[in-house]
Amino acid sequence: MEKILTQKELVREVNLLKKAGKQIVFTNGCFDILHAGHIKYLNSAKKEGDILVVGLNSDKSVKSIKGEKRPIVPQMQRAEVLSGLSSVDYITFFDEPDPLNLIKEVSPDVLVKGNDWAEDNIIGADYVKANGGRVVRASFVPDVSTSAIIKRILEVYKAG
């Protein structure tokens, strides 16, 4: 099964899965340097339904929200790494700074974000709830982030 799909392919697949009675879970992120926090988060998201769809910020999107030096890892490599996880069923890219249009296309049963986000600030939460779905704020692993890893690498490199 190919996990990395265009948005059009993903929507077609999701619609078939919904007709088969599957619960669709959606989350999104940059997933620039995959770490333990990401793995715990994605495993937790998968438990909320049958099929986990990851909206992956494209390189263009990451640059727009994280700055010109990001992403560290190009989008196809980030997608390939995510596709190796058993918790992730499908991955698609989005170019916008936020995934609202993609969420509307997928219309998931469950929208998952980290509990470091207040529900009022979760993009797409209102849309998902208005369409009978639910929003889950998954546990956030403190002190584990891509930015912290990059900072540590730079410190080690400078220390020589």
Mean of all residue pLDDT scores within the chain: 94
Portion of the chain with pLDDT greater than 90, in percent: 81
- Give the C-alpha separation, 18 to 131, whole Å: 14
Query: Given this model, what pLDDT does residue 70 score?
Result: 93
Neighbours of 137 (CB within 10 A): 16
CATH entry, 7-159, from 3.40.718.10, 3.40.50.620, 3.40.50.970, 3.30.70.360? 3.40.50.620
> Whose CA is closest to 141, among 43, 24, 3?
43
Query: Given this model, what pLDDT does residue 147 score?
Result: 83
Q: In one letter, which amino acid is 16?
A: L
Query: Given this model, what pLDDT does residue 157 score?
Result: 84
Model confidence at 144, in pLDDT bands (50, 70, 90)?
confident
pLDDT digits (tens, 9 = 90+) for 90-129: 999 999 999 999 999 999 999 999 888 888 899 999 999 9
Residue boundaries of the structural domains of the chain = 7-159
Neighbours of 136 (CB within 10 A): 19
As a residue count, the chain comes to 160
Neighbours of 27 (CB within 10 A): 25
